[in-house]
Amino acid sequence: MSAVILQVGQCGNQVGLEWCEMLSKTSEQCGHGSPYITKEGTLAVVCVDSDPKVLRRAQRLVRNKTLLESNIVQGKGGRGNNWAYGYHGHWVEEGDQLLQQAMEAVRQEAERRDYYGGTIMLHSVSGGTGSGLGSRLCEEIRAEFPVSHILTVSVVPHQSGESPLQHYNTLLSLAALHRSSDAILLFHNDQALSYSRDLQKKVSGTFGLSSGLAQGTLSFMNKHIVSCIAGLLLPVHNLTTASNWSLGVEPWELIRSVCPMPAAKLLSITQAGSREKLKWDSLASSTLQSVPQVSLAGRSYTSRAVLAVARGDQDNSFIMSSALNKLKRGHRCVAWNPFPVDHWTAVSPLCSITWCTEQKR
């Protein structure tokens, strides 16, 4: 079962190209039949943006023959950080052409699959192209492939400072995605920035406001988001055959596990890892530090379902530890779900726990 990765807008393509580089480095760990790579060895990725400057980096993948040139769809101008402008396009033919070309690229990529399972869309909900055109593409894909899955990886803007329209764009984009997608995996820029600053301090020993460090921080943020996505969506032992063939159902099993109610589809994700051999209980405790306790209204958070992915489980010690019980208590899972915590394991050189949850507010 194969997935098509759809990267929309500047943020979606920046994160997506980091994802492509990570896939090229870890392809040998994905077993046979990776759901993100075609039989010909090219990436099942479609890059879409209204500004051609953003996609210059993707041309290197075309020259390396890891991405088809027809899968790069670009316009001639931006969308002005306006959701409506991105959704409806120009009042001239060029706007419709960008939408039609993007859908044609997705359709052709889906037809190259032996079986098309669904689309994973990477985008931001704060700008014009990622939020507006991304919402429109999600609706068009739902209409074109009504039985396929749609999982969106949506980057939420900082609380202030990015664009005067960012909150309106976010509201309109999430409302549209809630109608057409199966699950929305949220990443908050503020949290990614905080994590990236801590990581950059450990790497460089200092942190400042110079342009070089600012660019490095953005790269750390993208790598952090990609690391979390990889922790969830790369092949795992539970969904791999005895002959090491990946079934490619990780994105869709994620939806089944964490979205027991179709109307509740906003997902949170956290990851903790170490290059050293640590106890799973310690890693589970690290991930629970970011779990919110109460909402702004003063109500306690609870989780309807939690999926924990343990990578680096060489000796099947994860299931024998108390990490799952610790995650269940830490997330305050609802009583009506008889199996609120699902778990996957994978053999990996690094030890990490990545959990994804749908929280009831």
How many whole angstroms separate alpha carbon 142 and alpha carbon 95?
A: 20
Q: What percent of the chain has pLDDT over 70?
A: 89
**pTM of the predicted structure, to 2 decimals:** 0.91
Name the nearest CA neighbour of 31 among 350, 245, 239: 245
Return mean pLDDT, the chain: 86
Six token digits for residue 30: 């994905």
Q: How far apart are CA 23 and CA 37, in angstroms?
A: 9
Q: How many Å apart are CA 340 and CA 338, to the nearest integer?
A: 6
Q: Could you give the 3-state DSSP secondary structure of residue 151? A: strand
Which pLDDT belongs to residue 200? Answer: 67
What domains are defined for the chain?
3-252 (3.40.50.1440), 268-360 (3.30.1330.20)
> For residue range 125-167, what is the model confidence (pLDDT) as tens digits?
998 999 999 999 999 999 999 999 999 999 999 887 778 899 9
The residue-averaged pLDDT of 214-236 equals 86
What span, in angstroms and rounded, lies between the C-alpha atoms of 124 and 163? 13
pLDDT of 303-353, one tens digit each? 999 999 999 888 888 888 889 999 999 999 988 988 899 999 988 767 788
Return the pLDDT at 238: 87
Q: To 5 degrees, how large is the angle CA 55–CA 57–CA 62?
A: 90
- Return the pLDDT at 213: 47
The one-letter code for the residue type at 331 is H
What are 286's two structure tokens?
Answer: 């690290």
| Nearest CA-CA partner of 331 in 296, 300, 299, 354 | 300
Rounded-to-integer distance, Cα 272 and Cα 79, Å: 36
Per-residue pLDDT for 209 more than 90?
no
What are 358's two structure tokens? 């749908």
How many Å apart are CA 187 and CA 270, to the nearest integer? 9
Weakest mean pLDDT among 9-13, 30-34, 80-84, 328-332: 30-34
Q: Band the pLDDT of 206: cuts 50, 70, 90.
A: very low
Is the Cβ–Cβ distance between 273 and 350 less than 8 Å? yes
Please give the sequence-ordered ranges of beta strands (E in DSSP) within the chain, or none if there are none. 2-8, 45-49, 72-74, 116-124, 149-156, 183-188, 266-274, 302-311, 341-346, 351-360
User: Sheet containing 72-74: which strands, arranged edge to edge?
Assistant: 72-74, 45-49, 2-8, 116-124, 149-156, 183-188, 266-274, 351-360, 302-311, 341-346
Strand partners, 309: 344, 354
Q: How far apart are the first and last CA of the chain?
A: 34
**Backbone torsions φ then ψ of 198, nearest 5 degrees:** -60, -40
Q: How confident is the model at residue 190 (pLDDT cuts 50, 70, 90)?
A: confident
As a whole number of angstroms, the longest Cα–Cα distance in the chain is: 61
Residue 100: band (very low, low, confident or very high) from pLDDT cuts 50, 70, 90:
very high
Residue 212 has pLDDT above 70, yes or no: no
Tokens describing residue 250: 């990780």
Hey, which of 2-6, 212-216, 240-244, 287-291 has the most confident mean pLDDT?
2-6
The percentage of residues in the chain with a pLDDT greater than 90, rounded to a whole number, is 45
Nearest-10 Cα torsion for 98, 101, 107, 110: -80
Q: Locate 341 and state its tokens.
A: 């915590």
pLDDT digits (tens, 9 = 90+) for 37-79: 887 888 999 999 998 888 988 999 999 888 999 999 998 888 8
Helix H or strand E segment including 76: none
Task: Give the tokens for residue 136.
Answer: 């429109």
Q: So what's the pLDDT on residue 79? A: 87
| Model confidence band, residue 91 (pLDDT cutoffs 50, 70, 90) | low
